[in-house]
Amino acid sequence: MDLGLRGRKAIVCAASQGLGKASAMALAREGVEVVIVARRREVLDSACHDIESATGNRPRTVIADVTSREGREAMLSACPEPDILINNAGGPPPGDFRNFERDDWIEALDGNMLAPIALIKSTIDGMIARKFGRIVNITSHAVKAPVAMLALSNGARSGLTGFAAGLARSAAEHNVTVNNLLPGTFDTDRLRSNLAALARNSSRSVAEVTEEVRASNPSKRFGHPDEFGATCAFLCSAQASYITGQNILIDGGAYPGAF
């Protein structure tokens, strides 16, 4: 399917690995002019090489911290008029909420709520004026099914979800959509980190915990990042213009909706 995206411009945050990289890869395959952003140069350069090798479309790279004003300005300098914005950030650390201090909560809010809102604020009016825009926030299945050990993530990402729901309604008439993608257990470094933390907290081996989580999913497997990237690219397409304000679970059926 031709998604009608060739020549569009996109900013993809936290795109050096995992789901952000997969989303950038899928957009590059569709002929999108992609700007990928991350904090670590060596990892971002590797992602750039992988995307170009797989798609023939070399993305531009920006070394930046999305939580800082300077970082966001650098991103927008590289792509002043994006048609597509993929908000993404590494999740805050897991743990018992009793051990978190105010600074931990503020850092989680900065990375997973306030920085995405700031980028949306800087880009959405241009999208509205051009009559095309796609904003996708990569959040977590924990927004719909909170996990106790992910307290910081639960709070910050739920705040972004509420904000996006209201914004989506006001932008829809201008062919600007705002959606949230809620990944479940995908085979990424983030998942491996969470599984290791769960193993420590339960005094079990990582292998035992990994197999238990895998087996508990109806699909009996972890998701592949390419599956996520393809879904993200579709949400950015011309064909997806009637999908907005949605929280779309991609989780192998672990948290099915009510019928």
Check pLDDT > 80 for residue 257.
Answer: no
At 145 the pLDDT is 84
- The position carrying tokens 């990402």 is 157
- The position carrying tokens 């087996």 is 215
pLDDT band for 52, please (50, 70, 90 cuts): very high
Same domain membership, residue 140 and residue 35: yes
For the chain, what is the domain count?
A: 2
Same domain membership, residue 171 and residue 195: no
3-state SS record for 189-256: HHHHHHHHHHHHHHCCCHHHHHHHHHHHCCCCCCECHHHHHHHHHHHCCHHHCCCCCCEEEECCCCCC
- Tell me, yes or no, whether 258 lies in a domain: no
Same domain membership, residue 42 and residue 15: yes
Check pLDDT > 60 for residue 259.
Answer: no
Domain containing 234 equals 9-186+224-250
11: helix, coil or strand?
Answer: strand
Q: What is the mean pLDDT of residues 76-96?
A: 93
At 201 the pLDDT is 84
Same domain membership, residue 130 and residue 229: yes
Task: Give the tens place of pLDDT for each residue, 68-78.
Answer: 999 999 999 99
Q: What is the mean pLDDT of residues 168-177?
A: 97
Determine the Cα angle at 163 with ends 5 and 88, to 5°.
50
Same domain membership, residue 206 and residue 136: no
Same domain membership, residue 164 and residue 210: no
Same domain membership, residue 110 and residue 237: yes
User: Which CATH number fits the domain that encloses residue 77?
Assistant: 3.40.50.720
- Tell me, yes or no, whether 2 lies in a domain: no
DSSP state at residue 141: G
CA atoms within 13 A on the CB side of 138: 29
In one-letter notation, the amino acid at residue 39 is R
Same domain membership, residue 206 and residue 78: no
Same domain membership, residue 198 and residue 71: no
- The position carrying tokens 């907005």 is 244
Cα–Cα distance for residue pair 111/48, rounded to 1 Å = 23
